[in-house]
Amino acid sequence: MIIDDEPLGRQKIQLLLKDDPTVEVVAESPGGDEAVHQIHSLHPDLIFLDVQMPGKDGFAILRELDQEDLPLVVFVTAYDQHAVEAFRVHALDYLLKPFDSERFLEALGRAREQVLQQRNGDASRRLLNMLGSGPVRDAPAERLMLKTGGKIVFLRAEEIDWVEAQGDYVCLHAGQKKHLLREKISELEQQLQYRSFVRIHRSTIVNIDRIKEMQPLFYGEYSVVLFDGTRLTLSRSFREKVFQRLGPHP
């Protein structure tokens, strides 16, 4: 869905989407109560949402939606100072006017990856419910989709050795390769929590199968040594949770 009070703004996004067979524009709106009503009735996967609009701005529109069932949002704005606020409300991305087709397609590609991940997770939960498995937890991530060099690369979860936080990104270490993914480490932890991964530090997740040994340090911390020689730190605040996963310890 496209929400922008300027007809030319909506038209530009329509033109950029018209040749993409994977995208259906279900509605466009100049904003206000009409936009809120259409989102409630159409349940779009993704919204391109202008920030600066008369009456209700983009943030006001989002505040009227069900916070538990928000669509993905790419903010469109002529004012880059809105970017911080955009990410505070968990926007997937933002486009600074005037944007070119390359920047638009980058944002669209990121949105497509997120929609597919959400659909795969929803499908898994529906199947488990249908099989009568009782309470269903979030489906573990089997593989991650990464955009690199203009293409999408699939990385199996078991290929990951460890993960480090880098602001709003995470760096995935897999053998000799590193992959940067736009996701917070807490969000990735949720995807990996039911596999062989454990968070050992506020900025580090490690694949348990890659741990060779753990050496005690000072003040209850440990040095975690991987089979490839990488040394990571298990902080005291995560120690009990880690040892619960690893089993009894001396």
| Domains of the chain: residue spans and CATH | 2-114 (3.40.50.2300), 143-246 (2.40.50.1020)
In Å, how far are 74, 91, 95, 192, 200 from 107, measured between CA atoms? 7, 11, 8, 25, 32
Length of the chain in terms of residues written: 250
Q: What is the pLDDT of residues 122-160, one digit of tens each?
A: 544 444 444 444 444 444 556 677 766 566 677 888 899
Alpha-carbon distance of 198 to 211, in angstroms, equals 11
Residue 207: pLDDT over 70: yes
What global pTM score does this model have?
Answer: 0.50
The token pair that represents 154 in the structure block: 């699939």
Alpha-carbon distance of 209 to 44, in angstroms, equals 40
Alpha-carbon distance of 168 to 185, in angstroms, equals 8
The token pair that represents 246 in the structure block: 């690893």
